[in-house]
Every structure is written in C-alpha cells, then in structure tokens.
Amino acid sequence: MKGIMRGRFVRKLKLMPTITNFKQQGLVLHLNTTTTPDVFCIQKLPTPPPTYDDHNHKGNNLAELEANDDHDHFEEEKEEELEEATTKKTLKLGEQKLETKITTCSIECPSLNDFKEMCPPGGRHTIILYTTSLRGIRKTFQDCNTVRFLLRSFKIMYHERDVSLHLEYREELWKILGGKVIPPKLFIKGKYIGGADEVVGLHEMGWLGKFLEGTPTHSTDHCTCIGCANMRFSICSNCCGSCKVFKAKGDNNHELFLRCPDCNENGLVKCPICC
C-alpha cells in the first residue's frame, strides 16, 4: 500500500511545473511581498527580440565588401589595360605614318632621264597627250579627262592628239609603243611618262609639277579658238565633211565620186588657226 502511494506522489511531483519550464515558456516566478507573504506569482515575460550572431553578420558584410572591392579593382584594371592598348595602337599608327613620311621624303625625285625615250613626231621639246573623245568605254574616257584636267591645272601649253578624230594619230601611237594601246598616253619632251595611273601617281607624289618646269604656260584668259573650239580639227571645206568630191570624166561630162584628198577619214582637217 505504501508503495502505491509513493508511486502516485512521484508522478504528481513530476507533473508540477519547475522554474526551468517557466523560463522556457517565457514566464517568471517571483515572490509577491506586497500583499501576502509566501505567495508566488507567475508573470509572462515580453517577447525577446530575435537574436542573431553579430560576429557572423559582420563577417558576411566584410565578405561582401571585399567582393565588391575585388570587382571594382578588376574593372579598373580592365579599363587601364584597354587604355594602354589604345595608346599603344595610336602610337604605333603614328610611328607608321612617320616612317612613311620619312621614306617618302628620303626617296629622291626622279628626273625625265629616268624614263624611256619614245619621242612622237614633233614632240622633242613639247608635251603631247594622246586621248580619245569617244565615250564607248567610260573608264577610258574618264582617264583622258583626268590627265587633261591635271595638265590644265598647271596652265601649261600642250598638244592633244585625239586618236578617234584622226586615224594617223592612232597609228602613230601604236607604232611608238609597239602595239595596240589604249589612251591616254603622255609624253614629256620625248620621254614616255605613261597612262592615267602613272600620271596621277606622279602628281600625288608631287613630281609631275617638277617634270613640267620650263614648259611654256598660257594666261588665265586663254580664249577658245574660233575655228575649232579647241578641238584642233574643223570640217573640210572641200567636201563639207563627206569625204567625196565630184570630177568630170572625158568629153561626155560624166561625173565620178572621188575620195577627198584634203580631209581625213572623218571628213576633218586640222584647224588652220590654232594648229
């Protein structure tokens, strides 16, 4: 009987709350001395603020700051490398341009004696340009205009020979150069200079003007020829450009068509005023 009572007492004793349980539940046990002594009161503590580990939090912030610093440092290094590469590239281009200028300046200007002697008829002391006025091939026509414009820009006197207006000029040019060539072709004082590419190249190097020194020039008010409009040719007055003339044959007054002896294949004659 005593054992049973003892077991019940132990179980009730275990069910009674302890101070540890009160603390876990946010309760406080204190003695109320104001009213009745030896009376215990239980009060609930206010909810404590959430706790965290200051050390871990500071560590995380420090890690983030270090990561940001590393990123900014990487970006700065990248920008510095890019600026350095750009500067090196600019300096390299400048050095190349300087070397090109030095090389260009170091090359001596050639003289007319360096060119091959191929003197067209009447061109020992003059400038002769073979051109064409036909526009069938656009590049050829534009090249002729280019060389003509360069020569006119120096305001020099030169002789232009249009191979499309006079067949003898074409045969003459082919005979000089030893084959069928396409104008423009420039000859200066009996020296063959070349075509449009060679003439333009010499002009860009500043050498064409030196080759033309001592050449007679004309004034800016150089007028246009009233006979041929500076075309160097005019229509034949004997056949009126038809290349045919009539001639009587025998006593029957029969007329025959004969080739005009005065004009060329195009019914043109050299201008008697400017040629």
Residue 256: predicted pLDDT: 78
Look at residue 67 in the predicted model and tell me its pLDDT: 59
What domains lie within the chain, and their CATH numbers? 2-44 (no CATH), 116-222 (3.40.30.10), 234-270 (no CATH)
* Rounded Cα distance, 112 and 193, in Å: 9
Q: What one-character DSSP code corresponds to residue 120?
A: P
Q: Is residue 57 within 8 Å of residue 77, measured between CB atoms? A: no
Q: Which residue matches tokens 């860009």?
A: 204
Maximal CA-CA distance, the chain: 188
In this prediction, the residues of the chain whose per-residue pLDDT falls under 50 are: 24, 27-42, 45, 52-55, 57-58, 98, 101-102, 104-106
DSSP assignment string, 39-94: EEEEEEPPPPPPP--HHHHHHHHHHHHHHHHHHHHHHHHHHHHHHHHHHHHHHHHH
Tens of pLDDT, residue by residue over 48-65, are 555 544 445 445 555 555
Instruction: Give the CA distances from residue 117 to residues 77, 163, 177, 214, 223, in Å, rounded to whole numbers and listed in that order.
Output: 65, 21, 11, 19, 33
- What percentage of residues in the chain have a pLDDT greater than 70? 60
| Pairing outcome for strands 159-162 and 127-131 | parallel
Nearest to 174 by CA among 134, 130, 135, 116: 130
**pTM for the whole thing?**
0.57
In this predicted structure, what is the pLDDT of residue 92? 66
Pairwise CA distance, residues 144 & 184, whole Å: 5
Residues pairing with 27 in the sheet: 44
pLDDT in tens, 229-256: 778 888 998 998 888 888 777 666 677 7
- From the list 245, 248, 249, 247, the residue with the least C-alpha distance to 262 is 245
What is the distance between the alpha carbons of residues 116 and 60, in angstroms, rounded to a whole number?
86
pLDDT at 1: 56
d(CA 72, CA 74): 5
Q: What is the DSSP letter of 255?
A: E
Query: Locate tokens 């003509």: which residue?
Result: 148
| Mean pLDDT taken over the chain | 75
DSSP 267: S
pLDDT of 182 reads 93
CB atoms within 10 A of CB 177: 14
